[in-house]
Each structure stands twice: as C-alpha cells, then as structure tokens.
Amino acid sequence: MEGIEKITAKIAQDAWEEIARLDRETQEQTASLLSQAKAQGEKESAELLAQGEKAAGERLERLQSAAKMEGRKLELAAKQEVLSQAFDLALEKLRALPEEEYVKLLARLVLEASTTGKEQLIFSAKDRSRVGKQVVVAANEALASQAAPGLPGSIAESKVGAFLGKVVNTTAAMVNGTAMLTLSQETRDIQGGFIMVDGDVEINCAFETLVRLQREKLEKKVADVLFQS
C-alpha cells in the first residue's frame, strides 16, 4: 500500500507542478498579449492621430484656398462694379452736355460715320425734337464745305462773302452728290447719339453702344488707373 501512496503522491505532485507551470505560461502569454495589444493600440492610435491631423490639415488648406478664391471673386466683382459705374458716369456726362456742345459732338460723329452724305439720321424722340435738325444742318454744312475749295479770306470774312461761300459750298455739294443728310421721322429708344441709316445698312452711333465698345478697348487701362497699387 505504501508504494501505491507514493506513486499517487508523485502523480499529484507532478500534476500540481504541471498546473503551476501552465499557470505561469498562461500568465506570461497573457502579459505578452496585453503588452502586444497595448503596443499595437498605441501604434494604431498614433497612426489614427497622424491621419486625423493630416486630414484636418488638408481640410484647413482646402478651406483657406476656398476662402481666398471667394475673396478674389468678391474683389473682382467689386472692381467690375466700380468700372461699370465709371463708364456709366461717362455716359451720363455725354448725355448732360450743354446743347451747343452736344450738337457739335453729334455733327462730328456724323461726319466720321457718313460714307455717302445721303444717309438718314434716327434719334431718340427727345433728341429728335431738341437737336435733330441742328445736327443735320451742321453736318451737311461741314460736308458741303469739304466739297468745295474755300473762298479767299478777304471775301469769306464779309457777310456777303459768307453767304456766297455757303452758296458755293451747297452747289458743289449738289454736284458731288453729298451733304444730303436727312432727319428721319422714325425714333429709337436710345440714350443719346443716333442711328445712321443708308438703305438696308445701319450704323449704330448710340451713346450706350459707343461707350460699350470703348469699354472693351479701354477697360484694362481704366482698371490700371483706378486700382493701381
């Protein structure tokens, strides 16, 4: 019996030792896994933090870029508004010229636009009644004077000479078929200036059209003057 007890005691002792060994190994493995998990967690946390910081930085850059672009758009819109006001003011100044200057300006524009001297001039309803006839007469007189050589100064300076000069100019103009501009019965909804008509051909000399065309040519130069830094 004593032998059996010793064997049983030996088995029990070996079992406890094995249990203790397995327990130590389990604890060691658990500690190792916890350590690895902690390290992996810290690594992943650092990566996530870095990714978050990078994403936040990229978003900040996008927002700053968008803000700058929007700022440039607003600045450009403001400049365009100022330019529009500048050219609108130019149009208003043309429309507000004293009558005598207004007639001279329109007569000069007629001379520049006329190619036959036989065109019709269409004005706004207001300008037709106010200056239409004056412009046609002034332009025809200028065309007539271009059609004939001038009289000697000693003759032209007298009243009779001036009258004679007009007769000579008118006759020469009739011979050359020029200085026959007419005032159209038609009116147009324009802000100033005129429309020159020759058959089916129209030349738009309305002030708003002339200002728009000049804006296309001069806008950059005007902008340089207005917004010089």
Q: Is 65 in the same domain as 101?
A: no
More confident position, 116 or 64: 116
Range of the domain at 113: 97-226
Residues 56-98 pLDDT 10s: 778 877 878 777 777 777 766 766 777 778 778 888 999 999 9
CATH number, domain of 115, equals 3.30.2320.30
More confident position, 34 or 173: 34
Domain presence at residue 173 = yes
Q: Is 147 in the same domain as 106?
A: yes
Give me the pLDDT at residue 151, please. 40
Domain presence at residue 126 = yes
Domain presence at residue 194 = yes
Alpha-carbon separation of residue 160 from 10, 166, 179 (angstroms) = 159, 10, 22
- Residue-averaged pLDDT of the chain: 77
Tokens 């059609």 — which residue?
A: 147
Domain presence at residue 79 = no
Q: Is 51 in the same domain as 143?
A: no
Domain presence at residue 75 = no
Q: Is 17 in the same domain as 111?
A: no
Domain presence at residue 88 = no
Q: Is 117 in the same domain as 195?
A: yes
Query: DSSP alpha helices (H): ranges in the chain?
Result: 2-95, 99-113, 125-127, 133-147, 153-156, 159-176, 207-226
Residues 173-221 pLDDT 10s: 444 446 789 999 999 999 999 999 999 999 999 999 998 988 888 777 7
- The answer to whether residue 50 scores a pLDDT higher than 60 is yes
Within a 13 Å sphere around the CA of 94, how many CA atoms are in the beta-carbon half?
22
Q: Is 157 in the same domain as 64?
A: no
Q: Is 139 in the same domain as 40?
A: no
Domain presence at residue 169 = yes
Q: Is 146 in the same domain as 59?
A: no
Domain presence at residue 84 = no
Q: Is 28 in the same domain as 130?
A: no
- How many domains does the chain fold into? 2
Q: Is 109 in the same domain as 199?
A: yes
Domain boundary among 30, 51, 69: 69
- Give the integer Cα–Cα distance in Å for 92 and 36: 82
pLDDT band at 2 (very low <50, low <70, confident <90, very high): low
Q: Is 61 in the same domain as 104?
A: no
Give me the pLDDT at residue 168, please. 42
Among 100, 99, 122, 98, CA closest to 110 = 122
pLDDT band at 155 (very low <50, low <70, confident <90, very high): very low
